[in-house]
Amino acid sequence: MKRTLSLVVLAGLAALSLASGPTQKDRSGQILNIIRGRATQQHNAWFNDGDYPRAIQSIKVLHQLFPHDYDLETDLGWMLENVEDYAGAISVYVAYRKAYPKDPEAYYPEAELYFRERLYTKVPPLIEPSLRLGTHPHANSYRILALSYERMGLFGDSERIWDNYLSFTKDDGQAKVNRDRVEKKRLGLWRVPKPSSKA
Protein backbone atom coordinates (compact mmCIF):
# COMPACT_ATOMS: atom_id res chain seq x y z
CA MET A 1 0.00 0.00 0.00
CA LYS A 2 2.80 2.42 0.90
CA ARG A 3 4.52 1.85 -2.44
CA THR A 4 1.28 2.37 -4.36
CA LEU A 5 0.68 5.61 -2.42
CA SER A 6 4.21 6.72 -3.24
CA LEU A 7 3.53 6.27 -6.94
CA VAL A 8 0.37 8.36 -6.65
CA VAL A 9 2.30 11.11 -4.84
CA LEU A 10 5.00 11.05 -7.50
CA ALA A 11 2.34 11.30 -10.18
CA GLY A 12 0.88 14.33 -8.42
CA LEU A 13 4.27 16.00 -8.23
CA ALA A 14 4.80 15.35 -11.91
CA ALA A 15 1.43 16.93 -12.71
CA LEU A 16 2.36 20.03 -10.70
CA SER A 17 5.68 20.19 -12.50
CA LEU A 18 3.95 20.02 -15.85
CA ALA A 19 1.63 22.85 -14.86
CA SER A 20 4.45 25.14 -13.78
CA GLY A 21 5.05 26.59 -17.23
CA PRO A 22 7.01 26.17 -20.46
CA THR A 23 10.37 26.93 -18.81
CA GLN A 24 10.04 23.65 -16.91
CA LYS A 25 9.26 21.57 -20.01
CA ASP A 26 12.61 19.78 -20.26
CA ARG A 27 12.75 19.08 -16.54
CA SER A 28 9.15 17.87 -16.50
CA GLY A 29 9.93 15.37 -19.22
CA GLN A 30 12.87 14.05 -17.24
CA ILE A 31 10.74 13.74 -14.10
CA LEU A 32 8.03 11.86 -15.97
CA ASN A 33 10.56 9.47 -17.50
CA ILE A 34 12.07 8.75 -14.06
CA ILE A 35 8.62 8.14 -12.58
CA ARG A 36 7.65 5.91 -15.45
CA GLY A 37 10.83 3.87 -15.19
CA ARG A 38 10.48 3.39 -11.45
CA ALA A 39 6.78 2.60 -11.62
CA THR A 40 7.33 0.11 -14.43
CA GLN A 41 9.98 -1.69 -12.39
CA GLN A 42 7.63 -1.82 -9.43
CA HIS A 43 4.55 -3.08 -11.23
CA ASN A 44 6.67 -5.69 -13.01
CA ALA A 45 7.89 -6.87 -9.60
CA TRP A 46 4.32 -7.02 -8.29
CA PHE A 47 3.26 -8.93 -11.40
CA ASN A 48 6.08 -11.46 -10.97
CA ASP A 49 5.07 -11.87 -7.32
CA GLY A 50 1.47 -12.49 -8.34
CA ASP A 51 0.26 -9.30 -6.68
CA TYR A 52 -2.01 -8.32 -9.56
CA PRO A 53 -4.13 -5.71 -7.72
CA ARG A 54 -1.06 -3.60 -6.92
CA ALA A 55 0.33 -4.07 -10.43
CA ILE A 56 -2.99 -2.91 -11.85
CA GLN A 57 -3.05 0.14 -9.58
CA SER A 58 0.49 1.06 -10.64
CA ILE A 59 -0.37 0.77 -14.33
CA LYS A 60 -3.52 2.86 -13.79
CA VAL A 61 -1.41 5.68 -12.34
CA LEU A 62 0.94 5.58 -15.32
CA HIS A 63 -1.99 5.37 -17.72
CA GLN A 64 -3.37 8.61 -16.27
CA LEU A 65 -0.01 10.31 -16.79
CA PHE A 66 0.45 8.95 -20.33
CA PRO A 67 -3.13 8.55 -21.68
CA HIS A 68 -2.03 8.19 -25.31
CA ASP A 69 0.48 5.44 -24.57
CA TYR A 70 -0.75 2.36 -26.44
CA ASP A 71 1.50 -0.02 -24.49
CA LEU A 72 0.15 1.17 -21.14
CA GLU A 73 -3.42 0.93 -22.37
CA THR A 74 -2.95 -2.65 -23.55
CA ASP A 75 -0.95 -3.55 -20.41
CA LEU A 76 -3.78 -2.30 -18.22
CA GLY A 77 -6.44 -4.10 -20.24
CA TRP A 78 -4.42 -7.31 -20.28
CA MET A 79 -3.89 -7.17 -16.51
CA LEU A 80 -7.61 -6.69 -15.96
CA GLU A 81 -8.25 -9.69 -18.17
CA ASN A 82 -5.79 -11.67 -16.04
CA VAL A 83 -8.02 -11.14 -13.01
CA GLU A 84 -11.09 -11.90 -15.17
CA ASP A 85 -12.35 -8.33 -15.02
CA TYR A 86 -13.42 -8.40 -18.64
CA ALA A 87 -15.86 -5.54 -18.24
CA GLY A 88 -13.04 -3.40 -16.85
CA ALA A 89 -10.73 -4.38 -19.69
CA ILE A 90 -13.36 -3.56 -22.30
CA SER A 91 -13.99 -0.23 -20.58
CA VAL A 92 -10.28 0.62 -20.91
CA TYR A 93 -10.21 -0.39 -24.57
CA VAL A 94 -13.40 1.50 -25.43
CA ALA A 95 -12.23 4.66 -23.65
CA TYR A 96 -8.94 4.61 -25.56
CA ARG A 97 -10.69 3.98 -28.88
CA LYS A 98 -13.11 6.86 -28.32
CA ALA A 99 -10.34 9.19 -27.15
CA TYR A 100 -8.20 8.49 -30.23
CA PRO A 101 -10.59 7.58 -33.07
CA LYS A 102 -8.04 8.47 -35.77
CA ASP A 103 -5.47 6.01 -34.45
CA PRO A 104 -5.93 2.75 -36.40
CA GLU A 105 -4.31 0.77 -33.59
CA ALA A 106 -6.93 1.95 -31.09
CA TYR A 107 -9.52 -0.49 -32.43
CA TYR A 108 -7.46 -3.66 -32.13
CA PRO A 109 -7.33 -4.47 -28.37
CA GLU A 110 -11.11 -4.62 -27.97
CA ALA A 111 -11.54 -6.55 -31.22
CA GLU A 112 -8.79 -8.99 -30.27
CA LEU A 113 -10.53 -9.75 -26.96
CA TYR A 114 -13.77 -10.52 -28.83
CA PHE A 115 -11.85 -12.67 -31.32
CA ARG A 116 -10.28 -14.74 -28.53
CA GLU A 117 -13.72 -15.17 -26.96
CA ARG A 118 -15.05 -16.32 -30.38
CA LEU A 119 -17.44 -13.36 -30.60
CA TYR A 120 -16.62 -13.03 -34.27
CA THR A 121 -19.57 -10.80 -35.21
CA LYS A 122 -18.16 -8.05 -32.95
CA VAL A 123 -14.83 -7.89 -34.80
CA PRO A 124 -15.77 -6.40 -38.23
CA PRO A 125 -17.58 -3.31 -36.86
CA LEU A 126 -14.38 -2.39 -35.02
CA ILE A 127 -11.65 -3.34 -37.48
CA GLU A 128 -13.25 -2.43 -40.82
CA PRO A 129 -13.30 1.33 -40.03
CA SER A 130 -9.69 1.19 -38.83
CA LEU A 131 -8.60 0.05 -42.30
CA ARG A 132 -9.87 3.31 -43.80
CA LEU A 133 -8.00 5.77 -41.58
CA GLY A 134 -5.17 6.47 -44.01
CA THR A 135 -2.40 4.38 -42.47
CA HIS A 136 -2.24 0.61 -42.26
CA PRO A 137 -2.88 -0.81 -38.80
CA HIS A 138 -0.85 -3.72 -37.47
CA ALA A 139 -1.00 -6.89 -39.56
CA ASN A 140 -2.91 -8.65 -36.79
CA SER A 141 -5.88 -6.38 -37.43
CA TYR A 142 -6.17 -7.81 -40.94
CA ARG A 143 -5.62 -11.35 -39.68
CA ILE A 144 -8.31 -11.37 -37.01
CA LEU A 145 -10.75 -9.64 -39.35
CA ALA A 146 -10.19 -12.09 -42.22
CA LEU A 147 -10.33 -15.07 -39.86
CA SER A 148 -13.51 -13.75 -38.22
CA TYR A 149 -15.20 -13.46 -41.60
CA GLU A 150 -14.07 -16.98 -42.47
CA ARG A 151 -15.44 -18.43 -39.23
CA MET A 152 -18.71 -16.61 -39.86
CA GLY A 153 -18.88 -18.27 -43.29
CA LEU A 154 -18.40 -14.95 -45.12
CA PHE A 155 -15.68 -16.25 -47.41
CA GLY A 156 -15.90 -13.43 -49.95
CA ASP A 157 -15.29 -10.82 -47.27
CA SER A 158 -12.45 -12.86 -45.82
CA GLU A 159 -10.85 -13.15 -49.26
CA ARG A 160 -11.25 -9.39 -49.75
CA ILE A 161 -9.38 -8.64 -46.52
CA TRP A 162 -6.56 -11.06 -47.34
CA ASP A 163 -6.24 -9.47 -50.80
CA ASN A 164 -6.15 -6.03 -49.20
CA TYR A 165 -3.42 -7.10 -46.79
CA LEU A 166 -1.38 -8.87 -49.47
CA SER A 167 -1.53 -5.82 -51.73
CA PHE A 168 1.08 -4.15 -49.52
CA THR A 169 2.61 -7.18 -47.77
CA LYS A 170 3.53 -9.61 -50.51
CA ASP A 171 6.02 -11.72 -48.55
CA ASP A 172 3.61 -13.14 -45.95
CA GLY A 173 3.46 -16.76 -47.01
CA GLN A 174 0.91 -17.81 -44.40
CA ALA A 175 -1.43 -15.03 -45.50
CA LYS A 176 -1.26 -16.41 -49.07
CA VAL A 177 -2.09 -19.88 -47.79
CA ASN A 178 -5.05 -18.49 -45.84
CA ARG A 179 -6.24 -16.48 -48.81
CA ASP A 180 -6.12 -19.52 -51.12
CA ARG A 181 -7.99 -21.65 -48.57
CA VAL A 182 -10.76 -19.06 -48.30
CA GLU A 183 -11.05 -18.78 -52.08
CA LYS A 184 -11.48 -22.56 -52.33
CA LYS A 185 -14.14 -22.43 -49.62
CA ARG A 186 -15.97 -19.69 -51.51
CA LEU A 187 -15.88 -21.79 -54.70
CA GLY A 188 -16.89 -24.97 -52.89
CA LEU A 189 -13.58 -26.65 -53.70
CA TRP A 190 -12.15 -26.87 -50.19
CA ARG A 191 -11.52 -30.29 -48.68
CA VAL A 192 -10.20 -30.65 -45.15
CA PRO A 193 -6.70 -32.15 -45.45
CA LYS A 194 -6.45 -35.67 -44.07
CA PRO A 195 -3.92 -36.11 -41.28
CA SER A 196 -0.81 -37.89 -42.47
CA SER A 197 -0.60 -41.50 -41.27
CA LYS A 198 2.66 -42.74 -39.84
CA ALA A 199 3.76 -46.31 -40.30
Cα–Cα distance, 178 to 143 (Å, whole number)? 9
Given a cut of 60, whether residue 193 has pLDDT beyond it is yes
113-125 in b/e form (b: 16+ CB < 10 A) is bbbeeeebeebbe
Q: What percent of the chain has pLDDT over 70?
A: 85
**pLDDT band at 2; cut points 50, 70, 90:** very low
pLDDT in tens, 28-38: 778 777 877 88
Q: Give the mean pLDDT of the chain.
A: 86
3-state secondary structure the chain: CHHHHHHHHHHHHHHHHHCCCHHHHHHHHHHHHHHHHHHHHHHHHHHHCCCHHHHHHHHHHHHHHCCCCHHHHHHHHHHHHHCCCHHHHHHHHHHHHHHCCCCHHHHHHHHHHHHHCCCHHHCHHHHHHHCCCCCCCCHHHHHHHHHHHHHCCCHHHHHHHHHHHHCCCCCCHHHHHHHHHHHHHHCCCCCCCCCCCCC
- Listed by start position, the domains of the chain span 54-100, 121-190
Average pLDDT over residues 150-155: 98
Cα–Cα distance, 146 to 65 (Å, whole number)? 35
Least confident of 41-45, 67-71, 95-99, 168-172: 41-45
Given a cut of 90, whether residue 116 has pLDDT beyond it is yes
Burial of 19 (0-12, 13-18, 19+ CB in 10 A): exposed
Q: Of the candidates 3, 2, 32, 30, which has an alpha carbon nearest to the alpha carbon of residue 15?
A: 32
Average pLDDT over residues 159-163: 98
pLDDT at 7: 47
